[in-house]
Amino acid sequence: MATLSRRRVIQLAGGFALTGVAGRWLTLPEAWAEPVGAPADELSDFLEISRKLTQRDELDEHLAGALVLASTLALEGFGERLARLKALFDQRPALLERSPLAFGDDFTDQETTARQVLGGWYTGVVGSGEQAIYVTYLNALANRLVADKLVPPSFSYGPCGSWRHAP
């Protein structure tokens, strides 16, 4: 397995950000097009868990790969924590039916991991503080959810502050 540097993940994240700005997938440079670092079983587990948490079947596998790589760098022990979360969901699928997402005192580590996975998908950022890695913006689920109303998402049309006044 190839070792992946923080610089490489930032390059990959930059590539995803650029493709998001274009609004569609562009052809990535050859060096980025090859799969790197994330083991297939870890990516598969990440996608399975992500589909359960987001309740969406149509998650982008390329973005999932970037999120796994960023999570591995930004979040200590991410692979092991992801495996424990998968095992918990396999044993107790009813945990996903709770609203808000709460697993109880016995499973705080798994709940934290689930929130980090969701945070990566919805904000496009993995980790926090100096360990945070920006993966995507437009392809983040939070922005895709509002894409039919705000294009590009979260930008104001008109002079600064015009959003304050009723249309």
User: Domain residue spans in the chain?
Assistant: 6-164
3-state helix/strand/coil string of 69-89 = HHHHHHCCCHHHHHHHHHHHH
pTM for the whole structure: 0.71
Look at 34 and 79; give whichever has higher pLDDT: 79
Q: Could you report the per-residue pLDDT of 54-80, keeping only the tens digit for each?
A: 999 999 999 999 999 999 999 999 999
Q: Could you report the per-residue pLDDT of 121-150, keeping only the tens digit for each?
A: 999 999 999 889 999 988 899 988 887 877
Chain mean pLDDT for the chain: 80
Q: What is the pLDDT of residue 148?
A: 81
